[in-house]
Amino acid sequence: MTAIITNPLDFNVEDLYVDLRQSIGCQLYLKCEGFNFAGSIKAKAAAEMVDAKEREGELREGGTLVESSSGNMGVALSIVAASRGYRFVCVTDTRCTLTARRTMEALGSEVHVVNEPDAEGGFLGARLAHVRRLCAANAGYLWLNQYANSGNWRGHYRTTGPEVAKAFPELDVLFVGAGTTGTLMGCARYFRENHPEVSIVAIDTIGSVTFDRPAGRRLIPGLGTSVRPPILDASYADDVVYVAEAETVRMCHRLVRHGFLFGGSTGTVVSGAMDWLAAHGGQDELTAVAISPDFGGNYLDTIYDEEWVTRAYGANALK
User: In 67-224, where does DSSP find H-type helix?
Assistant: 72-84, 98-106, 122-137, 150-158, 160-167, 182-194
105 and 23 fall within a common domain: no
199 and 268 fall within a common domain: yes
- DSSP annotation of 7: S
The CATH number given to whatever domain includes residue 52 is 3.40.50.1100
186 and 154 in contact (C-beta within 8 Å)? yes
Please compute the mean of the pLDDT values over residues 134-151 and round it to a whole number. 95
68 and 178 fall within a common domain: no
197 and 304 fall within a common domain: yes
What is residue 16's three-state secondary structure?
Answer: coil
How confident is the prediction for the chain on average, in pLDDT?
95
Whether residue 56 lies inside any domain: the answer is yes
Nearest-angstrom CA–CA distance, 237 and 272: 14
Looking at residue 213, what is its pLDDT?
A: 95
Whether residue 19 lies inside any domain: the answer is yes
209 and 228 fall within a common domain: yes
173 and 297 fall within a common domain: yes
Whether residue 1 lies inside any domain: the answer is no
Which one of 82, 109, 143 terminates a domain?
Answer: 143
Whether residue 37 lies inside any domain: the answer is no
235 and 89 fall within a common domain: no
> Which range marks the domain in which residue 289 is found?
8-32+159-313
Name the band, by pLDDT with cuts 50, 70 and 90, for residue 3. confident
Which one of 94, 109, 143 terminates a domain?
Answer: 143
Which one of 119, 143, 167 terminates a domain?
Answer: 143
81 and 186 fall within a common domain: no
Give the number of domains in the chain.
2
Looking at residue 282, what is its pLDDT?
A: 60
176 and 256 fall within a common domain: yes
Whether residue 200 lies inside any domain: the answer is yes
Name the band, by pLDDT with cuts 50, 70 and 90, for residue 135. very high
Q: What is the pLDDT of residues 51-91, one digit of tens each?
A: 999 999 999 888 999 999 999 999 999 999 999 999 999 99
Whether residue 288 lies inside any domain: the answer is yes
182 and 127 fall within a common domain: no
DSSP string, 55-111: HTTS--TT-EEEEE-SSHHHHHHHHHHHHHT-EEEEEEETTS-HHHHHHHHHTT-EE
Closest alpha carbon to 84 in 57, 47, 137, 42: 47
81 and 225 fall within a common domain: no
Q: Supply φ then ψ for residue 202, to 5 degrees.
A: -85, 140
Looking at residue 281, what is its pLDDT?
A: 78
Whether residue 150 lies inside any domain: the answer is no
Q: Is the pLDDT of residue 13 over 70?
A: yes
Whether residue 213 lies inside any domain: the answer is yes
107 and 187 fall within a common domain: no
